[in-house]
Structure 1
Amino acid sequence: SMLDYNVLGGKLNRGLAVVESYKLLKAGSEPSEEEEFLACILGWGIEWLQAYFLILDDIMDNSQTRRGKPCWYRLPKVGLIAINDGLVLRSQISRIFKRYFHGKPYYVDLLDLFNEVDFKTTSGELLDQITTSEGQKDLSKYTVDVYRRIVEYKTAYYSFYLPVGCALLLSGGSLDDYVQVKHILVEMGIYFQIQDDYLDCFGDPEVMGKIGTDIEDFKCSWLFVQALVRVDERQKDILFENYGKSDPACVAKVKALYKELNLEAVFSEYEREIYEKLISDIEAQPNEAVQAVLKSFLHKIYRRMK
């Protein structure tokens, strides 16, 4: 069915993160079966949200495959009906939440959180689309600041802040008291995406499970924006000449330039700095259970590179 095809098949990281975060927040007291069940419902809510984003994203990007299968809209019987399927997924979330959370003290805050994150993610997608079409005309539009904004809105909120926000609400917290936690999670989300961009070029496709296409796809990638601030005129010409072309020879030239600019070392240095900064920000958190949640996220991200 449409649900099995689109909601299942990922790693379910975001959904599982709700349950894990909730257990860490309840440190010292075992959650009841009812509470754990509700944490699972919230986790599935995020997975449905993710499925809705991906279905529509794949149509916009004209993608071929997702999670090792053809994209949903590419199936002959589906086509553009996929747009409605995406909307069905999104509207079901509200109904599921109504069924299980209506009357709970955090019900309004929960709907608010999902609406806010939905808004941020779709705004990030819009920013990404606009930037890419601008970039196709003029690559110097791809700057470090533009990159950060896209990633923060498009990925960081729903992948990192949302699961923890759900767990905090379920454990009786008020999100207004955790503004600093939100900042830390968004920063982690940006770090995660930078890793992703790095691995798209330098990672092993066997390990990644996919072949990177950021260069061919004209992506405003972290490697590109870092290259742009480091090139001399000659290198800049090579970069602009070959970026966004599907010809393997062009892609190879861009990769060679990334190596020449020593971006692997730039990445390692960035990674070391951001890791230290995140650790010190986390350790400044007054609540130990919250610290534990943030550290578990950070170590998961960090482990991808090892």
Structure 2
Amino acid sequence: MLRRSLYSCMCTRNYANQATFQKKQSPLMKRIVNEFDNYVPKVVDESLAKMTYVNMSEMKDRIKKASEYYTIGRNPVQGEFMLSAYESMNKDLKITDELVHQLQVVVTTVEMLQSYFYFWDDLEDESETRLNKPCWHLVDNIGMMAFNDACILRSFIDEVLRQNFNLEMRDKIMNVYHQVYFNSSMGQHFDAEVSRSKNYDNYTMETYDMICVLKSSAYAIKSPLLLALVLSNKLNKESIDIVENLSADIGILIQCHNDVIDYYNTKGNVTGKSGSDIQLGKCSWVAAAVLRNCNAAQRRIFNENYGNTDPEKVNRILQLYEEINVEKLYKQEEQRRFDVFNKKITTLPKNATPSAEFFKSFYNLVQYYTQDVSSFMYDK
């Protein structure tokens, strides 16, 4: 292990503006976020019941199981981000049963969209565990049919939206999702191609940022904010430009955080998804940071051992990461990303939507999910 565990490091960091952030939730936020596991099955069941063109109970059971497998039992982080933005744009909000239902549907579908990506990601990474249970493709001999299940889940998300929103609102929400599908798929392509090339000269921060903007930022940060704008009827060129400008650094930071967690999972120190970036030769933030900070001898060690499943070679890479002090590099990178984000906030006009005040609170909410590995982003 490093001199201190990542858990200890993240819990004791001293930020410029505050110590450890304590998350605060409004009554509406508590109702939507805290009851997530209870209403997701209801949204799924009601939508399946209305799908009269699907008559086979076996197929409906499979859709239900696939929809809920990764979705239930984790923190609905993207849903919480969306709700936080939505409330900031609607100060005098009248809470009705219809509003609560629509918010529940959007939170359900945005988290099902995350499950859709988990299906693909776990298959391509040959992962074994996710959220402390076997990956979907390893359940009940599902295997490669997980690809088809992912396609069904994507279509089912559209069906849930179709049943619960009018045509105009549904199309706007689906347009956000379709952008996420497209951008994330391109990001997945570049992620796989760079890793497959094993040309470690290309494992730069510029390459890493490009992949993250497509694969991570678009989903983790940009899409929740765009959804809030859609639901608030405030989606326009100006608001989209603001979200585009302020999403990248925070989204990249979240992925940096997950890459560091993957490293610690490889060492068996954190529960959740089993670590595999080293074995697969991924252009992770850890790999890019180490290559940027290593000497010639250390680079030879990296070249000779990275991207290999041999336990001895994996351990040699882990030793190299310790030597270069990944923990220290991560803390520096984290602070730099937050500093860039805060600087952008100061340039926003007073009437900006989303507002500078919202982004300041959003900054704190993101910190809550990256300050401590016990939160582990998507795992309760």
Q: Same fold (TM over 0.5)?
A: yes
**1:191 to 1:112, Cα distance in 2 relative to 1, 3 A:** same
**1:205 to 1:123, Cα distance in 2 relative to 1, 3 A:** same
8 A contact 1:110–1:166 mirrored in 2: yes
- Of 204-213 and 64-73, deviating more is 204-213
Q: Which has the higher contact order (CA 8 A, sep 6+)?
A: 2
Residue 35 of structure 1 aligns with which residue? 99
Q: Is 1:14 equivalent to 2:75 in the alignment?
A: no
Counting only pairs closer than 5 Å after superposition, residues 55-134 of structure 1 correspond to structure 2 as: 55-104=119-168, 106-134=169-197
Partner secondary structure for residue 216 of structure 1: helix
Partner secondary structure for residue 365 of structure 2: helix
Q: What is the alpha-carbon distance in structure 1 between the residues aligned to residue 196 and residue 246 of structure 2?
A: 31
**1:60 to 1:270, Cα distance in 2 relative to 1, 3 A:** closer
Partner secondary structure for residue 70 of structure 2: helix
Q: What is the alpha-carbon distance in structure 1 between the residues aligned to residue 204 and residue 292 of structure 2?
A: 8
Of 196, 199, 203 in structure 1, the residue corresponding to residue 261 of structure 2 is: 199
Aligned residues: 303
Partner secondary structure for residue 7 of structure 1: coil
**TM-superposition CA deviations, 1:15-72 (whole Å, max 9, x none):** 2322232122212434433223222211111112111111122222222122111112
Q: Is 1:299 equivalent to 2:364 in the alignment?
A: yes
- Of 9-18 and 279-288, deviating more is 279-288
Structure 1: runs of 5 or more not aligned: none
Structure 2: runs of 5 or more not aligned: 1-64, 373-380
Question: Structure 1 counterpart of 2:335, which letter?
Answer: R
Residue 46 of structure 2 aligns with which residue? none
**TM-superposition CA deviations, 1:93-135 (whole Å, max 9, x none):** 222222222244x443322221111100111111111111112
Question: Structure 1 counterpart of 2:343, which letter?
Answer: S
- Of 170-179 and 201-210, deviating more is 201-210
* 1:150 CA drift (Å): 1.1
Residue 252 of structure 2 aligns with which residue? 190
**1:117 to 1:205, Cα distance in 2 relative to 1, 3 A:** same
8 A contact 1:27–1:289 mirrored in 2: no
Partner secondary structure for residue 279 of structure 2: coil
8 A contact 1:156–1:189 mirrored in 2: yes
Counting only pairs closer than 5 Å after superposition, residues 218-257 of structure 1 correspond to structure 2 as: 218-257=281-320
**TM-superposition CA deviations, 1:130-155 (whole Å, max 9, x none):** 111112xx322322211111111111
8 A contact 2:290–2:326 mirrored in 1: yes
8 A contact 2:242–2:354 mirrored in 1: no
Of 340, 352, 355 in structure 2, the residue corresponding to residue 277 of structure 1 is: 340
Q: What is the alpha-carbon distance in structure 2 between the residues aligned to residue 257 and residue 175 of structure 1?
A: 48
8 A contact 2:130–2:274 mirrored in 1: no
Partner secondary structure for residue 63 of structure 1: coil
8 A contact 2:226–2:235 mirrored in 1: no
Residue 145 of structure 1 aligns with which residue? 206
Q: What is the alpha-carbon distance in structure 2 between the residues aligned to residue 61 and residue 276 of structure 1?
A: 32
* 1:175 CA drift (Å): 3.9
Output the TM-score relative to the length of structure 2: 0.72
**1:103 to 1:241, Cα distance in 2 relative to 1, 3 A:** closer
Q: What is the alpha-carbon distance in structure 2 between the residues aligned to residue 220 and residue 103 of structure 1?
A: 41
Q: What is the alpha-carbon distance in structure 2 between the residues aligned to residue 93 and residue 169 of structure 1?
A: 17
- Of 228-237 and 201-210, deviating more is 201-210
Output the TM-score relative to the length of structure 1: 0.88
* 1:6 CA drift (Å): 3.4
**1:255 to 1:80, Cα distance in 2 relative to 1, 3 A:** closer
% same residue:
26
Partner secondary structure for residue 278 of structure 2: coil
